[in-house]
Copies of this chain bind each other. A is one copy, B any other.
Amino acid sequence: MMEERLKALLEDLRSGRVSTEEALERLKALPFEDIGFARIDHHRAIRRGFPEVVLCRGKTPEQVVEIARRMVERGSFLATKADREVAEAVRKVLPDVEYHPEAEVLVWKGPDFRRRPGTAAVVSGGSSDIRVAEEAAVTIEAMGHSAERLYDVGVAGIHRLLANWELLRRVDVLVVVAGMEGALPSVVGGLVEAPVIAVPTSVGYGASFGGLAALLAMLNSCVPGVMVVNIDNGFGAGYAASLVLRRCEKVKSGG
């Protein structure tokens, strides 16, 4: 549409309806991001079914309800860090919104939602890491992809992981969640060809320093190609995994 406006302006100039000076002024006045940049991006986001994501932490239930309402009208809704109180407030008004209590995620997939190809594995170590792992898995599913959960396969009992070797090798991308020593992404990364996205968690105490130990371990993985997101950032890892899957889909369809 920007192009149309530009073309119209040029036509006006050409036909003498505006002077050169006026055209110059109007050209300068166009916010440059409007040359197709911001707006197209916004439209595409809606068109492609990528929900905008709301972080509930720091917002009142009323604020989240209000945002949810407007987003549902626009076709999709995904909110993270939604505690039970927020969830109930939203679902009272919008009963179709799903609540994933372990992940603390609210999802409304909308009429344009469709299942998409590509499968991610979400792997986690201890049972305390499941909250973060679920945030990743629910995000991947909200984006339309499949998520295979493989929980409680920490490195203390390596056989549990090896027993699922086939699953690990079958998927297109892996999100590996671990707290404490954060060793799981290295071990998993050594077993697979697909990209591995590591999520350190704040699970632990003492010299875990709120997840710093796991974070540093993952950044120093001896397995090349392990990529890391912020501590407890299950949403970010799930989002990144979906970006990889989408890109593969795009490549597949010649996009």
Contact residues of A with B, CB < 8 Å?
A: 1-3, 6-7, 10-11, 13-14, 16, 20, 23-24, 27-38, 40-41, 44, 48, 53, 58, 117-118, 125-126, 128, 154-160, 162-166, 172-173, 179-183, 186-187, 189-191, 193-195, 197, 200, 202, 204-233, 235-236, 239-240, 242-244, 246-252
Contact between chains at A53 and B230 (CB < 8 Å) = no
Q: What secondary structure prevails in chain A residues at the interface with B?
A: helix
Instruction: Give me the 4 closest cross-chain CB pairs, A-B, nearest first.
Output: A33-B159, A34-B163, A206-B231, A183-B183
Q: Determine the distance from Cα of A250 to Cα of B155 in the docked complex, in whole angstroms.
A: 26
- B206 close to A118 (CB less than 8 A): no
Contact: A183 with B217, CB < 8 Å? yes
On chain B, the residues within 8 Å of A117 by CB distance are 251
- In the bound complex, residues from chain B placing their C-beta under 8 Å from that of A128 are 58
Question: Do A159 and B205 contact each other (CB < 8 Å), given the known contacts A219-B229, A251-B249?
Answer: no
* Copies of this protein in the complex: 8
Q: Which of A187, A217, A221 has the most CB of B within 10 A?
A: A217
A193 surroundings in chain B (CB, below 8 A): 44, 48, 243, 246-247
Decide if A190 touches B20 in the complex (CB within 8 Å). Answer: no
Known A-B contacts A205-B230, A216-B208, A225-B236; A181 and B186 likewise in contact (beta carbons under 8 Å) = yes
User: Judging by beta carbons under 8 Å apart, are B2 and A10 in contact?
Assistant: no
Do the beta carbons of A240 and B195 come within 8 Å of each other? yes
Is the beta-carbon distance between A32 and B251 smaller than 8 angstroms? no
Closest Cβ of chain B: how far from A62's Cβ, in Å? 15
